[in-house]
Amino acid sequence: MKYDVVVVGAGIAGPIVARNVAREGFSVLLIDKKPAIGTPKQCAEGISMSVFKKHDIPYDRRYINREIYGAKLYSPSGYELELRYKEASGVILERKVFDKMLAYYAAKAGADVLARTEALDVIRRNGRIAGIKAKHEDEPLEIEAEVVVAADGVESVIARKAGINTYAPPHEFDSSYEYEMLIEGYDPDLIHLWFGNEVAPRGYVWVFPKDEDRANVGIGINSDNPQTAKYYLDRWLKENNVPARKILEINVGVVPVGGFVRELAKDNVVVVGDAARQVNPMHGGGMAEAMNAGSMAAKWIVKALEEEDLSLLQNYTKEWWETDGRRLEKVLRVRRVTEKLTDEDLDLFIRVLSGADAEKIAGGDYGEVIKALLKHPKVLLSRRRVSLLRQLL
pLDDT tens, position by position, 274-317: 999 999 999 999 999 999 999 999 999 999 999 999 999 999 99
> Could you read off the pLDDT of 9-37 as tens digits, one per residue?
999 999 999 999 999 999 999 999 999 99
Q: What is the radius of gyration, based on Cα positions, of the chain? A: 21
List of domains in the chain? 2-67+89-168+259-328 (3.50.50.60), 170-256 (3.30.9.10), 353-390 (no CATH)
Peptide bond into 281 cis (omega under 30): no
What does pTM read for this prediction? Answer: 0.94
* pLDDT value at residue 163: 96
Q: pLDDT below 50 — which residues of the chain?
A: none
Given this model, what pLDDT does residue 359 score? Answer: 79
State the pLDDT at residue 81: 93
Q: What is the DSSP string of 168-202?
A: --GGGEEEEEEEEEE--SS-TTSEEEE--TTTSTT
C-alpha dihedral, 180 to 182 to 188 to 190, nearest 10°: -40
Q: What angle do CA 66, 91, 248 make, to 5 degrees?
A: 55
User: What local confidence, expressed as pLDDT, does residue 358 receive?
Assistant: 81
| Rounded Cα gap, residues 155 and 137, in angstroms | 21
- Which pLDDT score, from 0 to 100, does residue 252 have? 96
pLDDT of residue 24: 99
> Which pLDDT score, from 0 to 100, does residue 393 have?
81
pLDDT of residue 45: 97
Residues 6+ positions from 303 with CB-CB distance below 8 Å: 312, 315
CA distance 147 to 310: 8
